[in-house]
Amino acid sequence: MSRLFRAPHREFSNSPLRTKRLRSAWQLLCREGPSSIAKIALSRLVLPRIGRATHPALTRQVRRMLGEAGGKPPIVVA
Amino acid sequence: MDYAHPYRQRPQHLALAFARLGHPVFYLSPRSGHDLFLSFSSPAPRLCVTDADDMLQHLLDERPILLLMSLDNRVDTNLVARAKSWTPRLIYDYMDHIDPAISLIDIPPGHLEAHAALLRDESVLVVASAQVLYDEVAPLRNRGLVLAQNAVDVAHFQVHRSTSALVPEMAEVVGRGRPILGYFGALASWFDYDLVHAVAPARMSASC
């Protein structure tokens, strides 16, 4: 299936060390209160790449939500 | 619009309302700087904010109901085609006039083209947020059109809040201790200042 909105990601190495460093940088910036520009850059450029390493968490979340839905159809708000 | 955008709009309210009705809801964030998550966040039960729509397409066993918003300038004919290849259950929320004076940016021609096509596409359910929008769409189709107007989230405004951080002008109004009539929204080109000046004196028992 093609993506709806997301631009294709460039290949990114999700080595554990790199992910750990990015996550630490993110947590540090959260504590320090990053500027809006930094937040946008982080949310658009950095977090999705870290997030690629956390897809199993999204998978579990989706499975859990579907399991609790009781047959109600999923809704995607785009 | 990011789910966590401080100026909450119809997409966020609809997503939360659907989740409260028991639907699993996936809100696709454009990540414009307010939604800060790794792969997803869950701001409410049954509500998941993510940008991984490519993954969702594989994870959802059932074809979802996909809600497209009319003010989303990313919606063009190519995106609609991709959406239809994902699910036949499309809803197009016609939430406001398509007008640069409202969006404060130019409207991409591709969005105008998709908008016009969606209003006529009877395989898509169109939801109009106002009677005037409903009346605009009604002649274009024979079925698949509903009116769902905006309203007030009364519970949101009934919550007691501290007044200590109010700006002096607002603190003075609150300090009068009278009911407050106000407008919650953008002071944009459509705002009728003359009307407000005309009706305010009729409610002198309240603070306007």
Q: What is the pLDDT of residues B5-41, one digit of tens each?
A: 888 889 999 999 999 999 999 999 988 888 888 788 9
Q: Which domain holds residue A51?
A: 16-67
In which band, very low, low, confident or very high, does the pLDDT at B109 lie, cut at 50, 70 and 90? very high
Average per-residue pLDDT in chain B? 90
* Domain-located, residue A32: yes
Q: A55 CB near a chain B CB, below 8 Å? A: yes
Query: At A2, is the pLDDT very low, low, confident or very high (cuts 50, 70, 90)?
Result: very low
Give mean pLDDT, residues B95-101. 87
- Any bridge partners for residue B146, and if so which? B127
| In a domain? residue B155 | no
Residue A25 lies in a domain: yes
A54 to chain B, any CB pair closer than 8 A? The answer is yes
In a domain, B93, yes or no: yes
Identify the residue whose tokens are 């918003």.
Answer: B69
- For residue A12, the distance in angstroms to the closest alpha carbon of chain B comes to 15
Percent of chain B with pLDDT over 70: 99
Nearest Cβ partner for B74 among A5, A48, A52: A5
Residue A62 DSSP label: H
Does the residue B188 lie in any domain? yes
Q: State the pLDDT confidence band at A77, using cuts at 50, 70 and 90.
A: very high
* Residue A4 covered by a domain: no
Chain A closest-CA separation from residue B173 CA (Å) = 32
Residues B174 and B138 in one domain: no
Shared domain check, B195 and B169: yes
pTM value is: 0.79
Give me the helix-helix angle, B109-120 and B77-86, nearest 10°: 50
Q: Is residue B142 domain-shared with residue B55, that is, in the same domain?
A: yes
Residues B139 and B199 grouped into a single domain = no
Closest CA to A19 of A54, A60, A45: A54
Using the Cβ of A76 and the Cβ atoms of chain B, whether some distance falls under 8 Å is answered with yes
A66 interfacial to chain B (CB closer than 8 Å): yes
Q: How many separate domains does chain B show?
A: 2
A75 lies within 8 A of chain B by CB = yes
Yes or no, beta carbons of B24 and A66 under 8 Å apart: yes
Residue B154 lies in a domain: no
Domain boundaries, position B113: 10-147
* CA–CA separation, A77 and B14 (whole Å): 8
Residues B117 and B165 in one domain: no
Do the domain assignments include residue A76?
no
Higher pLDDT among residues B178 and A40, named by residue: B178
| B82 and B21 inside one domain | yes
**B107 and B195, same domain (yes or no):** no
Residue A39 lies in a domain: yes
Residues in A closer than 8 angstroms to B34, CB to CB, are 39, 43
ipTM higher than the 0.90 cut: no
> What is the Cα–Cα distance from B77 to B42, expressed in whole angstroms?
31
Please, are residues B65 and A74 in contact by the beta-carbon 8 Å criterion? yes
Pair B133, B48 in one domain: yes
Residue B173 and residue B133 share a domain: no
- Residues A78 and B11 sit within 8 Å (Cβ to Cβ): no
In this complex, which of A4, A54, A73 lies closest to B23 when CB atoms are compared?
A73
The number of distinct structural domains making up chain A is 1
Judged against a pLDDT cut of 90, whether residue B43 lies above it is answered with: yes
Residue B1 belongs to a domain: no
B121 or B164: which leads in pLDDT: B121
Residue of B nearest to A57 (CA): B39
User: Cα(B206)–Cα(B178) distance, rounded to whole angstroms?
Assistant: 5
pLDDT of residue A42: 67
Statement to judge: residues B71 and B14 lie in one domain = yes
State the nearest Cα–Cα gap between B140 and chain A, in angstroms: 24
Which residue in the set A30, A44, A76 is minimally distant from B31, CB to CB? A44
pLDDT band at B132, cuts 50/70/90? very high
Residue B30 resides in a domain: yes
* B33 with A54: Cβ contact below 8 A: no
Is B2 a domain residue? no
In a domain, A8, yes or no: no
List chain A residues with CB under 8 Å of B64.
73-76
**Judgement on whether residues B93 and B193 belong to the same structural domain of the protein:** no
- Domain boundary (B147, B174, B193) is at B147
Same-domain check for residues B174 and B136: no
